[in-house]
Structure 1
Amino acid sequence: MTKTWHRPTLWLAAVMAVLALGTAIGLLVDDRVLQGSPLWLKPFKFSVSLAIYSVTLSWMLSLPHRGRRITTALATLVVGIMAVEIAFIVASTWHGAFTHFNQSEDALNNALQFAFGFVMVMFAANIVLALVFTFQRAVDRPTMWAVRTGTWLAIAGMGIAYLMIFQFDQGTMATDAAGRTVELSSGHSVGVPDGGPGMPITGWSTMGGDLRVPHFVGLHGLQVMVLLLFGLTALKLTDRAKLRLVFIAAASYAGFLALLTWQALRGEPLVHPGFTTLAVAAGIAVATAAATVRVVKTGKAVPLPDRRPALQR
């Protein structure tokens, strides 16, 4: 079957690239601040993330697989939901309002929160896509397992976002960029209020735990596994060795994702890890390095001997 990239996801990626440029300009010319971060930072990060995700999903759907009609329909559904949500996020940002967890009763926010309700549909669609590719055998095993593990890592990252719902009780009041006092139902920080000191660009908390960290890392696990796959094609390794390296990378990535989630839930900042966090991270890193070295040493592809007569060489 001829490889065909999924066009709606490519179009969404192009639109998100343009939006990323537009929101980057907004960061430069609009000095309004929302919870200590530049107002246009959130839509900028969303547009960049969605552009990368859309290109990766389009490539994944180009792989030969059964059930193409189902995967095409699901991906198109995901594109529609993401397009509507990013449109509402940009509109709310323009008005200086909170996008997530906002309990205001104005018409724009009601529409935004209603649109966010379809996130569960998008989440379910991604799970179905992952299940479809989990049982495929149409391409080589390293490629298939990179897609399988990467897709499930991305779903884990999506699922981590739901932990933010339980971070604090309703009734927390905050001031938006337009000076309005609004009620927020949840937040992303653990152990500290949202809006405190944060890292450059990402805005991740430097004073407490931040669930945006594992959410981001997990969400882009698919891209990491695909890039790893592309990198392995340049190495002279057997397919069996490449497959083992894919497994090692997936296990290591899952381990670090679990560690980052645990760190955030304990209220520990990413940039100030404690001894326990460092010890676990070192253990994962050492085990990953040792397993990788062993596979590379034993999995080098040996060129077949040239059995032609000397005069024909």
Structure 2
Amino acid sequence: MTSLASTLAHRAARLHRPLLIVTAALLVIGVVGLGGLLLDDRELLGLPIWAKTVKFGFSFGLYAATLAWMIGLLTRARRWGWWLGSVVAAGLACDIVLMVVQMIIRGRRLHFNHADETDRMIHNLLATGTYAAFVATAIVALLLSFQRLPDVSQAAAVRAGLLVTLAGLGMGTLMFSPTPEQQAALDTGTRPGVVGSHGVGVPDDGAGLPILGWSTEGGDLRVAHFAGLHALQLLPLLAVALLLLSRRYAGLRSPYVRRDLVRVAASAQLALVALLTWQALRGQSVIHPDLWTLLTAGAIAGSAATGCVLALRRRRAATEPEPVTVTTSGNI
């Protein structure tokens, strides 16, 4: 019992504390936002004014908590990891504070807002925090790729999770590009009040899914952004689930089998991010896929299923003993 307590205390001490503090603050804001949904009937861009606060509070909270754990896995360049984690913590804290100030207090649009000087300042600060967190996370991913982690399936999950998450974060940068209409205004020297958009071919205040707000009428880049961002949690959780299942299923007892399955899942999720981005850029709603989108999704699912089967069979074949051939002599 003492040994277990000591191990847990040691692991807790390795967690990145600034990120944990930000995690707690974000989760509190998410809970407060839930109360706001019930008590505040204001709307912004067709959604409850607290909806984005709830989404980002819980989403950023999960992101920060997972990154705090991953930085704790560093055995080399730990000081670098601490500073990079602090940059991410500061960026996330900056973003959520600006969100509360701009949306809840000022009652104004948060993203892409260039309507007046204050709106532009908040937008620029928001973009700075986001890009700083993106770059810092990318460097953490690079550092972890050179670490020796105790379990190969965990190592694959951590590295692949960071890679797919970076892809999802990268998709977010597409939203900051001006739409054709906004670009035409900029070309004439006019400064539009909004530069950038979540939607493709549709306005941001059009019909959308409840709470999430993803467009039901056209393309929406937030879908791919969301699908990639949470690989940071999903792939490590998959590695843990496979480890627990290995106690019951012999085929999963090899860490290399679990590693290969995690890699298959990571490849499928990365392909899904690419598919959702392609779908959005064609101005197609996530809930109204066309034939090409469905065929591509089917190909991704089929490839993933095939990869899982091959991973299990390849390792089983490698561990099965070779048959013993008995030869007999003609002379007895």
TM-score, normalised with respect to structure 2? 0.83
| Paired letter, 1:30 | D
C-alpha deviation, 1:77, in angstroms: 1.5
Please tell me whether residue 6 in structure 1 is matched to residue 12 in structure 2: no
Q: Match of 1:176?
A: none
* Partner SS for 2:193: strand
Q: Is the 8 A contact 1:171 1:183 kept in 2?
A: no
Please tell me whether residue 275 in structure 1 is matched to residue 287 in structure 2: no
Please tell me whether residue 77 in structure 1 is matched to residue 87 in structure 2: yes
Please tell me whether residue 207 in structure 1 is matched to residue 217 in structure 2: yes
Equivalent position to 2:150, from 133, 139, 142: 139
Q: Match of 1:252?
A: 268
Q: Match of 2:329?
A: none
C-alpha deviation, 1:172, in angstroms: 10
Q: Match of 2:129?
A: 118
Change (3 A) 1:129 1:167: same
Please tell me whether residue 154 in structure 1 is matched to residue 165 in structure 2: yes
| Paired letter, 1:58 | A
Q: Deviations over 1:119-150 (max 9, x none)?
A: 22221111111110111123222111111110
Change (3 A) 1:257 1:112: closer
Q: Deviations over 1:264-307 (max 9, x none)?
A: 111110001000000110111112112213333554698xxxxx
Q: Is the 8 A contact 1:170 1:183 kept in 2?
A: no
TM-score, normalised with respect to structure 1? 0.88
- The structure with more helix, counted as a fraction of residues: 2
* Partner SS for 1:159: helix
C-alpha deviation, 1:201, in angstroms: 1.9
Query: Which ranges of structure 1 fall in alignment gaps of 5 or more residues?
Result: 174-181, 303-313
Q: Match of 2:182?
A: 170
C-alpha deviation, 1:105, in angstroms: 2.2
Q: Distance in 2 between matches of 1:84 and 1:288?
A: 38
Change (3 A) 1:110 1:258: same
CA RMSD of aligned residues (A): 2.3
* Partner SS for 2:264: helix
Change (3 A) 1:272 1:66: same
Stretch deviating more after TM superposition (97-106 or 267-276): 97-106
* Partner SS for 2:209: coil
Q: Distance in 2 between matches of 1:123 and 1:12?
A: 16
Q: Distance in 2 between matches of 1:89 and 1:216?
A: 18
Please tell me whether residue 264 in structure 1 is matched to residue 280 in structure 2: yes
C-alpha deviation, 1:42, in angstroms: 1.1
* Partner SS for 1:143: helix
* Partner SS for 2:245: coil
| Paired letter, 1:121 | A
Q: Distance in 1 between matches of 2:314 and 2:141?
A: 32
Q: Distance in 2 between matches of 1:114 and 1:256?
A: 31
Q: Match of 2:58?
A: 48
Q: Distance in 2 between matches of 1:5 and 1:39?
A: 34
Q: Is the 8 A contact 2:114 2:123 kept in 1?
A: no
| Paired letter, 2:226 | F
Q: Distance in 1 between matches of 2:178 and 2:153?
A: 39
Please tell me whether residue 103 in structure 1 is matched to residue 114 in structure 2: yes
C-alpha deviation, 1:64, in angstroms: 4.4
Change (3 A) 1:75 1:64: closer
* Partner SS for 2:100: helix
* Partner SS for 1:65: coil
Please tell me whether residue 16 in structure 1 is matched to residue 16 in structure 2: no
Of the two, which has the highest radius of gyration? 2
C-alpha deviation, 1:222, in angstroms: 1.2
* Partner SS for 1:99: coil
Q: Match of 2:308?
A: 292
Q: Match of 1:309?
A: none
Change (3 A) 1:161 1:143: same
Q: Deviations over 1:216-258 (max 9, x none)?
A: 1111111111111111111332111111111111111111111
* Partner SS for 1:160: helix
Identity of aligned residues (%): 38
Q: Deviations over 1:42-67 (max 9, x none)?
A: 11111111111011111112224211
Change (3 A) 1:294 1:53: same
Equivalent position to 1:57, from 49, 67, 77: 67
Q: Match of 1:224?
A: 234
Q: Is the 8 A contact 2:71 2:140 kept in 1?
A: no
Matched length: 295
